[in-house]
A and B are shown apart, each in its own frame.
Chain A
């Protein structure tokens, strides 16, 4: 049974660095044709992809947030970590991690999602 679970602070202050952890089970972070993404959703707004990491450690970041994001994984702990620097109130959102699976045309989709964690940025 595949599960993903996000953990991290519920409240951060402006300018602080946010560190979120996604702990997965039911699959390996070294599995072929699999990856893990972070996606966020501000209250009442649409989904926004942030970053992903694949089993070969290949990483990619949202162009608009690239300078603030770092994604990494610890395969032995089954964890994927996202850090976002210089947090601002506009970064208030529910942050999700989701598994990436290779589909048709060698393109990826999100087949399993974590429950999400609401992060509020406020002084």
Chain B
């Protein structure tokens, strides 16, 4: 089955840029989606189809996908961005969704 690899943790100072990666075999050929989960809350989609933002998500959130790595970029990081972030793709071979293991973003 398809495997997505995320770093367990990342940290960034307020106002700086955070980059969270999601690795997978030829992931650039798939559509990647990103979810933000704050403590005690349900996940919220922040990026879909590699780089599209749902309404209500700040422009500070952006995504890219190429080769074997997809990246979620958060510009001008705020304290409220501290959360777990999960990437997700659809594995066509099994017709199942696959989640990465999640990255805990700490705002210093």
Cβ–Cβ contact B31 & A105, under 8 A: yes
Cβ–Cβ contact A49 & B96, under 8 A: yes
What 1/0 flags go to A35-68 for Cβ under 8 Å of B? 0010000000011110010000000101100000
**Complex contacts, B54 vs chain A, CB 8 Å:** 111
Known: A47-B86, A49-B97. A111 touches B102 (CB 8 A): no
Measured CB to CB, the nearest residue on chain A to B92 is: A107
Bound together, the chains give a CA A74 to CA B100 distance in angstroms of 31
CB distance from B62 to the nearest CB of A (A): 16
**Complex contacts, A103 vs chain B, CB 8 Å:** 31, 33, 48-49
Q: Does A27 contact B (CB under 8 A)?
A: no
Bound together, the chains give a CA A47 to CA B42 distance in angstroms of 11
**Complex contacts, A49 vs chain B, CB 8 Å:** 96-99
Bound together, the chains give a CA A96 to CA B97 distance in angstroms of 15
Q: How large is the interface on B (under 10, 10 to 19, 20 to 34, 35 or more residues)?
A: 20 to 34
Cβ–Cβ contact A110 & B102, under 8 A: no
Known: A47-B86, A60-B96. A105 touches B44 (CB 8 A): no
Bound together, the chains give a CA A11 to CA B39 distance in angstroms of 22
Q: How large is the interface on A (under 10, 10 to 19, 20 to 34, 35 or more residues)?
A: 20 to 34
Q: Does A114 contact B (CB under 8 A)?
A: yes
B residues with CB within 8 A of A: 1, 30-31, 33, 35, 42-45, 48-50, 54, 86, 88-90, 92, 94-102
Sample of 10 more A-B contacts, CB < 8 Å, known A110-B35, A111-B54: A48-B99, A60-B95, A103-B48, A105-B30, A105-B31, A109-B90, A110-B45, A110-B97, A111-B45, A115-B42
A-B contacts, 28 of them at CB < 8 A, read A37-B97, A46-B99, A46-B101, A47-B43, A47-B86, A49-B96, A49-B97, A49-B99, A52-B97, A60-B96, A62-B96, A63-B94, A63-B96, A96-B42, A98-B43, A103-B31, A104-B49, A107-B89, A107-B90, A107-B92, A109-B33, A109-B49, A109-B90, A110-B43, A110-B45, A111-B48, A113-B43, A114-B42
